[in-house]
């Protein structure tokens, strides 16, 4: 049985850490939010008061934090992971961050004698709770092989993507594709309705035809068609517009770095920004269907 240090016990990190506990391991977790601390405690995590207390005795340290800036701050500095984790601990970041942050974590970890793996996840909050996340593992062969065992209690799929930062690069491209698909689904759902099509019948057509996608199957933005869709619940978020904009923006940054022209991703970013400007940033990202609706209702 291993000792896990865990920094960031939010919507994803909390249930992931709990699955580690349920698999029989010790998890020492740290988070700034009282609510996250309480949820984690309820899930069996030993909640501690500092990064030092979470990591100083760990076999592996995981982070699950909002953005690159948070990841850098918990690794770096005199209260950080690099200062207090034993050199034998494997370090793995499951957050969705920019490529530069992931590169920084790899390079600095190596300089300081640690092995770091970028280990972003796909599958959302429900996948985190069920222990069925897809993990994308990027790093040196040795680190990736060690990471496989540590992530197993949280994973439905484990994919070795290659060297340093290939996990996070895979995640960024995957999510960009998802949100471009979602734009098509959002506009398609509105056009189908205004053409007088029965929503269920059209969904049946699209779901067995060339227009099908994960967004279509899971997030269809019309109430009563897909059980998992936020549309059934007044668009309360399963994935917020703010988080969607963050992820698409990471792809746009990567496009800038590499000279790839991302017209569709730019448009997706504009659409999520439009929802945020309307005060709907905490609502579900599939509410972009509203932007196509002639009277703004969905
Ligand atoms: P969240 O905001 O619910 O959780 C993040 C947690 O980090 C919060 O509890 C916050 O208090 C804590 N935190 C922030 N700064 C900290 C610090 N300095 N020290 C300790 N704790 C700190 O976010 P989430 O939905 O759990 O997402 C976490 C990461 O996973 C993000 O990068 C997100 O993009 C990614 N992700 C999310 C989903 C999803 O569906 N929510 C899916 C895949 C990946």
Task: State ipTM.
Answer: 0.99
The pLDDT value given to residue 29: 98
pLDDT tens sequence across 212-264 = 999 999 999 999 999 999 999 999 999 999 999 999 999 999 999 999 999 99
Q: Following DSSP, what letter does each residue of the chain receive, concatenated? A: --EEEEE--STTHHHHHHHHHHTT-EEEEE-S-HHHHHHHHHTT-EE-SSHHHHHTT-SEEEE--SSHHHHHHHHSSTTSHHHHS-TTSEEEE-S---HHHHHHHHHHHHHTT-EEEE--EESHHHHHHHT-EEEEEES-HHHHHHHHHHHGGGEEEEEEEESTTHHHHHHHHHHHHHHHHHHHHHHHHHHHHHTT--HHHHHHHHHTSTT--HHHHHH-SSTTT-TT-GGGGTTB-SSBHHHHHHHHHHHHHHHHHHT---HHHHHHHHHHHHHHHTT-TTBBGGGGHHHHSTTS--
The ranges assigned to domains in the chain are: 3-162, 169-292
- CB 170 less than 6 A from any atom of ligand 1: no
Residue bearing the CA closest to ligand 1, atom 34:
96
The pLDDT value given to residue 28: 98
- Print pLDDT tens along the chain (298 aa): 999 999 999 999 999 999 999 999 999 999 999 999 999 999 999 999 999 999 999 999 999 999 999 999 999 989 999 999 999 999 999 999 999 999 999 999 999 999 999 999 999 988 999 999 999 999 999 999 999 999 999 999 999 999 999 999 999 999 999 999 999 999 999 999 999 999 999 999 999 999 999 999 999 999 999 999 999 999 999 999 999 999 999 999 999 999 999 999 999 999 999 999 999 999 999 999 999 999 999 9
- CB 75 less than 6 A from any atom of ligand 1: no
Residues of the chain with pLDDT > 90, as a percent, come to 97
Q: What is the token pair recorded at 241?
A: 């517009």
The pLDDT value given to residue 14: 98
- CB 66 less than 6 A from any atom of ligand 1: yes
CA of 29 to the centre of ligand 1 (A): 13
- CB 40 less than 6 A from any atom of ligand 1: no
Q: Please tell me the class of the 3-162 domain.
A: alpha beta
The pLDDT value given to residue 168: 98
Q: Which of 171, 246, 283, 290 is catalytic?
A: 171
Q: Catalytic annotation on 87?
A: no
The pLDDT value given to residue 149: 98
- For domain 169-292, give the CATH number: 1.10.1040.10
């Amino acid at each position: 049985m291993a000792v896990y240090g865990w920094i960031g016990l939010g919507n994803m990190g909390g249930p992931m850490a709990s699955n580690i506990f349920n698999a029989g391991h010790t998890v020492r977790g740290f988070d700034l939010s009282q609510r996250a601390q309480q949820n984690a405690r309820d899930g069996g995590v030993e909640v501690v008061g500092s990064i030092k207390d979470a990591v100083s005795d760990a076999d592996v340290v995981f982070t699950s934090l909002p953005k690159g800036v948070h990841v850098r701050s918990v690794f770096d500095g005199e209260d950080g992971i690099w200062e207090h984790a034993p050199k034998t601990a494997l370090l793995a970041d499951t957050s969705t961050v920019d490529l530069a942050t992931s590169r920084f974590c790899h390079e600095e970890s190596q300089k300081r004698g640690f092995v770091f793996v970028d280990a972003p996840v796909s599958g959302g909050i429900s996948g985190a709770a069920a222990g069925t996340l897809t993990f994308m593992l990027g790093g040196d062969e040795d680190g990736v092989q060690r990471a496989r065992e540590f992530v197993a209690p949280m994973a439905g799929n484990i994919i070795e993507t290659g060297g340093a930062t290939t996990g996070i690069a895979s995640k960024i491209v995957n999510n960009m594709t998802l949100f471009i698909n979602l734009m098509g689904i959002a506009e398609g759902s509105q056009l189908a309705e205004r053409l007088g099509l029965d929503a269920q019948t059209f969904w049946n057509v699209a779901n067995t035809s060339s227009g099908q996608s994960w967004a279509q199957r899971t997030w269809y933005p019309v109430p009563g068609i897909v059980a998992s869709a936020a549309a059934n619940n007044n668009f309360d978020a399963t994935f917020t517009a703010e988080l969607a904009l963050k992820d698409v923006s990471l792809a746009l940054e990567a496009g800038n770095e590499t000279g790839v022209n991302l017209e569709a991703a730019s448009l997706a970013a504009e659409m999520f920004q439009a929802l945020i400007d309307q005060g709907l940033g905490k609502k579900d990202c599939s509410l972009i269907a509203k932007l196509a609706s002639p009277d703004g209702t969905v």
